[in-house]
Amino acid sequence: MRRIKYLILTIFAFICLTINAQQNGKTFVHIVHADHQVYDETFGKDVERLLGNVALRQDSAYFYSDSAHFNEKTRYFDGYGNVHIVVNDSTDIFSDKCKYSGDIKFAELFDNVILKDDSTVLKTNYMTYDRNQHLAMYPNHGTITRNDKNLVSRKGYYRDDIQVAYFRTDVVVTTPKSRMITDTLVYKIKEEKMYFYGPTTIFYEDNVLHGNYGWYDAKNDVAYLDRGATLSNKGYSITSDTMFYDKKADYAKAMSNVFIEDTVNKAIVEGNFAEMWKKLGKSYVTDSVRARYFAERDTLYLHSDTLFFFMDTATQKAERMLAYYNVRFFRRDIQGKCDSLNYYVSDSCAKMRRDPIIWAENSQLRGDSINIVIANKSIDTVLLYPNGFIIQKDTIEGFNQIKGKTMIAYFKDNELDHVYDDGNAETVYWLREEDGSMIGINVSQSVAMDITIEKNQIVRIKYFKKTTETLYPKEKMKPGMEYLKDFEWLDELRPVDPNDIFRKAKKTEPDSGKARRRSRRK
């Protein structure tokens, strides 16, 4: 009877101890197997020495080693030789030596440490593992390999339950096609997505990406960079506040404060939004666009609502540029405006459409359409059609004018040299003596004319076929006769400096408006 009571009390006490241990998060460490068990106080009080094929268990975790020093009371043991911890069905840890505290379920692992989790392998020389937190940590250099990706860092943490790794200091990520260098990285292993929180550079064979915050999708080779981003290669660089880059498609999207430097085509383009398709050889920039084209003589500044570029996919050299709407450009020797501008590099030809105007020195050139041919980085010829109209401001007063259906203006050293006027050709020009004194105002009409210009003044006119020509003394000119029909001097629309290309100038009534209207009524 006493034995039964004693047994019941023992069982009850054991149950109470077990419940108390479980309530405190503590469970026993059990000896599953050992070839030899020896109590040896040399290694400490209550320490049992286990030799040969040692196997211990706590909860669902198993601990294997060649030998161990085990204290059952403190739930602590040291494992030596071929240490293997089976954390769960998918996670295993290996090392040469380990120290394990069963009270807090915390392990220290030394030398040749390897953690394997599915297809993820972590290697280091010292690591701690917290079973409660499912957290592995190495403080001094470690490597994680996942399929064809390799991650190295000085410090690292790994949660095996959610398969997330955290890396700090000297982080290097290597894949077959890229290499990433960063300071802080969080790696969601199943998604193969990496989040970085400091200066980060991704190197490809032909491109380099840099950002300070963002993520990299290693599975799809896609990156998002924020807080200052740059994409660069041998031909150009794109900088913006934020950038999205798809390596497989070779596609980039830059947002806010976009700055593109093209070293191949000697240009800089700025805006607030840009997209580039390198494989297709096209890109565009929009929102507050400003392009700068550098030449030996001067820099051309151009603005439009949107600017498109079409490139040779092999050389990345520009083939065509398309600007629209509200196009304005400035260079010291030439300025212009239109609603769309199309420039073909191979032909060195620019086509201006929808109310185009060009200003060169004191000349204004207009037409329903304007084509410009460039030679030696300077204007060679300008085609105005239909309804071409050239106005030159006289050196003292008035305006010299040339008008016709189709006009070809020839330039020399960026100055108007001569004009061929075909179809209902008309001129008004002010004749002066060499000292500038007035001779009269010449008014002429012809089927076609070839007009020679020197020092921005008409000096000769060659007429073709039907011609009428009259020289009027100024005092005998009726009001408005000194202006051809549709005369408009639009100097208020002319860009005056590189920043003025952003101004959306509106037409104002010119001083000659009354005379112009009288000319039309006549």
How do the domains of the chain map onto residue ranges? 356-522
Task: Find the angle CA(314)-CA(316)-CA(322) to the nearest 5 degrees.
Answer: 125
Q: Read off the pLDDT of residues 91-140 as tens digits, 9 standing for 90 and up.
A: 999 999 999 999 999 999 999 999 999 889 999 999 999 999 999 999 99
pLDDT of res. 241: 97
How far is it, in rounded angstroms, from Cα 404 to Cα 389? 7
Task: Find the angle CA(464)-CA(468)-CA(469) to the nearest 5 degrees.
Answer: 105
Query: Which of 182, 197, 117, 130 shows the shortest CA–CA distance to 151?
Result: 182
Calculate the CA dihedral of residues 56, 62, 67, 68 and round it to 10 degrees: -60
pLDDT of res. 369: 96
pLDDT of res. 234: 86
- For 362-387, b/e burial (b = at least 16 CB within 10 A) is bbbbbbebbbbbeeeeebebbbbbeb
Q: Read off the pLDDT of residues 54-87 as tens digits, 9 standing for 90 and up.
A: 999 999 999 999 999 999 889 999 999 999 999 9
How far is it, in rounded angstroms, from Cα 120 to Cα 109? 18
**Residue 12 dihedral angles phi and psi, to the nearest 5°:** -60, -45
Query: Which of 383, 384, 392, 381 shows the shortest CA–CA distance to 366?
Result: 384
pLDDT of res. 508: 56
C-alpha 190: how far from chain center: 28
How far is it, in rounded angstroms, from Cα 280 to Cα 289? 22
pLDDT of res. 517: 37
How many angstroms separate the Cα of 256 from the Cα of each of 239, 276, 286?
9, 15, 10
State the residue for tokens 């012809």: 446
Any idea which architecture 356-522 has in CATH?
A: Sandwich (2.60)
How far is it, in rounded angstroms, from Cα 258 to Cα 271? 5
State the residue for tokens 């998604």: 191
How far is it, in rounded angstroms, from Cα 60 to Cα 398? 101
How far is it, in rounded angstroms, from Cα 380 to Cα 441? 30
Residues (pLDDT < 70) of the chain are: 1-25, 43, 296-297, 456, 507-522
Residue 327 identity = V
**Burial (Cβ within 10 Å: 0-12, 13-18, ≥19) of residue 328:** buried
